[in-house]
Amino acid sequence: MSAAAPLRQLVWKRFARNRLALAGLLVIAALALVAIAAPLVSPYDPTSINVHKVLNPPSWSHPFGTDELGRDVLTRMIWGSRVSLKVGFVAVGIAITIGTLIGALAGYYGGRVDAVLMRFVDIMLAFPTLFLILAVIAILEPSIATIMIIIGLTGWMSVARLVRAEFLSLRERDFIAAARAAGAGDSRLIFRHILPNALAPVFVSATFGIAGAILTESGLSFLGLGVQPPDPSWGNILTAGKDNITVAWWLSLFPGLAILITVLSYNLVGEGLRDALDPRLWQEGRR
C-alpha cells in the first residue's frame, strides 16, 4: 500500500464524521444522477407547450405545477439541473486551470515574475466581477457557452493566490532541494513535486467556486442574460415566477429551493473538505 493511501483514508474518515458535509455530498450525487439521467426520468418534454394547462397548480400529474405556457415545471427543473452542473464544473475547471498555472509560476519563480503576475491579479480583482460579466455578455450573444467561459475567466484570481502561497512555502522544503540536487528541471519540480502537494486548498476552493458559478448563472438567467428560452434553467424559471408571483407561487418556490439546496450542499462539502484536509487535524486523527 502506498504512503498516500493511509492519508486518503484519514481524510475520508474525517470527512465522513461531518454529517452535514456527508449529507451535502449525497445531495450533490443525487442531483448529478438526475441531471445525467434527465432524458430517462423526465415525465414530459421540457419545451412542450400545452395551452390547456397554463399555470396549473401542483397535482399528481404535475407535482411542481405548470408554467405560463403549460410546460411541466418539474421536467424543466430536471433539465435545468444539467445547465447548473455543466456551468459549475466547466467554469470552475477553467478558473482552476488558469489560477493554478499563474499561481504556480508566481510562487515558484518569485522575484519579477511574481511581482508582474500578482499585479495582474490585483488588476483583475479591481474590476467588479458581476459588472464585468454583464459588460461582456452585453457585447457577445448570451449563451451557456459564453456564460461558462466568462465565469471561468473572471473567477481564477483567488485560486492563483492560494496556489502561489502554497508554492512559496513548498519550494523551500528539503524534498525540493533534494530533487533539484538530483537534476530535476523546473517543469518537473513544478508539476511532479510541488503541485501535487499544493492541491488541497484548490479542491476546497473549487467546491465553493461551483456553488458561486451556479448562483451567477442563475442570476444571469433570471435577468435574461444567461440561458435563453425555451431552454430551461432554474434562473429563467424564476423569471416566470416573478412575472406570475401573485397567481403561481410554485414557479418561484421550487426553483428557488433547488438553487438554495444545491448551493448549500456544495458549501457544506467545501467546509467538510477544508476541515478534513487541515494538516493540523491529521495529528489529532492519528492519536
- pLDDT per residue over 14-31, tens digit each? 888 889 999 999 999 999
Let me know if residue 6 belongs to a domain.
Answer: no
Domain of 154, in residue numbers: 16-36+71-286
Let me know if residue 59 belongs to a domain.
Answer: no
pLDDT of residue 280: 58
Q: What does the pLDDT average to over 236-253?
A: 87
Confidence of residue 1 (pLDDT cuts 50, 70, 90): very low
What is the residue whose three cell numbers read 416566470? 240
Let me know if residue 62 belongs to a domain.
Answer: no
Cβ–Cβ under 8 Å, residues 73 and 187: no
Return the CATH number at 145. 1.10.3720.10
Which of the two residues, 282 and 263, has the higher pLDDT score? 263
Let me know if residue 254 belongs to a domain.
Answer: yes
Length of the chain: 287
Phi, psi values for residue 11, rounded to 5°: -60, -45
Let me know if residue 54 belongs to a domain.
Answer: no
Q: What does the pLDDT average to over 237-248?
A: 86
How many domains does the chain contain in total? 1
Let me know if residue 51 belongs to a domain.
Answer: no
CA distance 223 to 235: 8
Cβ–Cβ under 8 Å, residues 73 and 237: yes
pLDDT of residue 287: 45
User: What percent of the chain clears pLDDT 90, i.e. is strictly above it?
Assistant: 36
Let me know if residue 3 belongs to a domain.
Answer: no
- E strands along the chain, which residues? none
Let me know if residue 48 belongs to a domain.
Answer: no
Cβ–Cβ under 8 Å, residues 33 and 26: no
- pLDDT per residue over 96-153, tens digit each? 999 999 999 999 898 899 999 999 999 888 877 777 777 887 787 777 888 888 888 8
- Nearest C-alpha neighbor of 197 from the set 83, 284, 105, 277: 277
- pLDDT per residue over 58-71, tens digit each? 999 999 999 988 89
Cβ–Cβ under 8 Å, residues 202 and 159: yes
CA distance 188 to 80: 42
- pLDDT per residue over 163-176, tens digit each? 999 898 888 888 88
pLDDT of residue 5: 58
What mean pLDDT value characterizes the chain? 86
